[in-house]
Every structure is written in structure tokens, then in C-alpha cells.
Amino acid sequence: MINYEDRDYKDIPGTIVFDLQTCIKGYELNKFCDTLNKEEARQAFLKDEEEYMSRFPKLTQEMKDAIRKRDLNGLLDMGGNIYYLWKIAATLGLVMQQAGAMMNEPPITHAEFQQMMINGGRPIEGNRSIKENKERSNG
């Protein structure tokens, strides 16, 4: 069996790589999100989220709670694929920059996110390696 925990990409701050392990973990969540491709599904979700989520008995309570809270990072941790999770954000009427601001650690405003992107994005310093960040803060 492959141990995905020792992969180099697990050391990138703020990054969740959609690998086989993540795919398996998020399968039901991503199936749910995929249904939001259809207008009637989006309308049903917007009308009554609880009723709509109840149509997917394999969604965990943790997944449902994260959907309720609009916790896109939490959904990523649960195996959500960003392309599928975007269907939730778009159904809610969010633009990409609003979702990016919500997913920033810590969350920032839409305007702050826009300005960060205008300024060239996140600085590379502190965003390369979780291990290096720990070593730097301990040393």
C-alpha cells in the first residue's frame, strides 16, 4: 500500500494535492457537487439546502456541516476537488476572488484578496515549506 503521508507535496503550506487518497476520501462529496451542474439541482439546493443534502445519504455529517459553513478549505481537507467545490461557490453566486478570499489563511476580504493579486500574489517567503517554517520558528 502506498503511504501518501510521506509525499514531498505534503510540505507545501496551504496546499492540498488531489491525489488518489484524497480522491477516494472525497468521492461522495464530489458526486454531490457534480449534481450542481444542473439548473434544477442548483435551484433545489438554494431553496432548501438541508433537504437537498438529505438526498445524499453517504455525505458525512462533517461534510454537511462544512457545506453549511461555506468552509471550502474544510471541504478540500475532506477530499473535495476544487473544480467540484467551485460548483457550490458558483451556485451561491460567489466569484472566484470571493472564494479565494474565503480560502486564504486567515480569511481576508474580497477587496484585500483583489489587492494582494494586483500586488503580485502571496510572497514566496513563508510559503515554500512547512518544515522550514517550523525550523525557522524554533531556531
Split at pLDDT 50, 70, 90, the class of 3 is: low
Q: What is the pLDDT of residues 74-93, one digit of tens each?
A: 999 999 999 999 999 999 99
Three-class DSSP category at 65: helix
pLDDT band of residue 113 (cuts 50, 70, 90) is: very high
| Mean pLDDT to the nearest integer, 26-44 | 98
Closest CA to 80 of 129, 135, 16, 35: 16
| CATH architecture for the domain at 15-94 | Orthogonal Bundle (1.10)
88-104 pLDDT, tens digit each: 999 999 999 999 999 98
pTM over 0.75, yes/no = yes
Which of 9-13, 31-35, 43-47 is predicted least confidently?
A: 9-13
Residue 16 has phi, psi (to 5 degrees) of: -115, 115
Q: How confident is the model at residue 1 (pLDDT cuts 50, 70, 90)?
A: very low
Please state the domain extents for the chain: 15-94, 95-139
Cβ proximity of 126 and 9 under 8 Å? no
- Rounded CA-CA distance 139/135 in Å is 6
